[in-house]
Amino acid sequence: MRSHGYTRDGAYPRIYRIWSSVKTRCLNPKARFYHRYGGRGITLCEAWHKFEGFVEWANASGYRDDLQIDRIDNSAGYSPENCRWVAPRVNSLNRRDNKRFSFFGKSLTLGEASDRYNVKRLTIRYRLSRGLTPEQAVTFPVGEGNKVRLKALLSRLPERTNQLTALTT
């Protein structure tokens, strides 16, 4: 059996564990999350079936221990053309289960809106659940003195479908 030479003191390094996890969830029908990857057509390119091919790409593509592998198009497979190394925060924004809302004509997740408008994500979520529009949710002033004003604004809103339906379905 040929060894890749990457074990240290019997332990596999992080890059090897990433490759092994990607390969397992794409190719092993008995894997815990196979239904989210291989089961829905997410593939692993032929070059990455062997660790050496993956690690060569990883090193040439800026791999660091503080980054995560990210598929640019979540409906496409793992390949050099569709993968990159990103910070965990960036990776969390690129999930297929993220719901998007229209903030001033831009389609954003709550996390992206939070970063852009400097309002806590949970504050935006709460305001949307109370019936504010996305624009109102990010522009209404934050602060203790504004709770009364927010309550008054909410009492004037017409009855309408809860905008958080998109977040819970």
Averaged pLDDT for residues 131-147: 81
Assign 161 a pLDDT band (cuts: 50, 70, 90). Answer: very low
Task: Identify the pLDDT of residue 130.
Answer: 86
Element (DSSP H or E) covering residue 69: strand 68-71
Assign 147 a pLDDT band (cuts: 50, 70, 90). Answer: low
Supply 118's token pair.
Answer: 């400097």
Averaged pLDDT for residues 7-31: 89
Assign 17 a pLDDT band (cuts: 50, 70, 90). Answer: very high
Cβ atoms within 10 Å, residue 156? 6
Q: Is the pLDDT of residue 11 over 90?
A: no
**Single-letter residue type at 7:** T
Q: CA 23, 26, 28 angle in degrees (round to 5)?
A: 85
The answer to whether the beta carbons of residues 109 and 96 sit under 8 Å apart is no
């852009």: which residue's tokens? 116
Supply 129's token pair.
Answer: 């659940």
| DSSP 3-state of 98 | coil
- Highest mean pLDDT: which range of 9-13, 63-67, 88-92: 63-67
**CA-based nearest residue to 94, from 105, 102, 86, 104:** 86
Distance, CA of 74 to chain centre: 10
**CA-based nearest residue to 47, from 101, 3, 83:** 83
Task: Identify the pLDDT of residue 111.
Answer: 87
Q: CA 94, 86, 125 angle in degrees (round to 5)?
A: 35
Averaged pLDDT for residues 127-131: 89
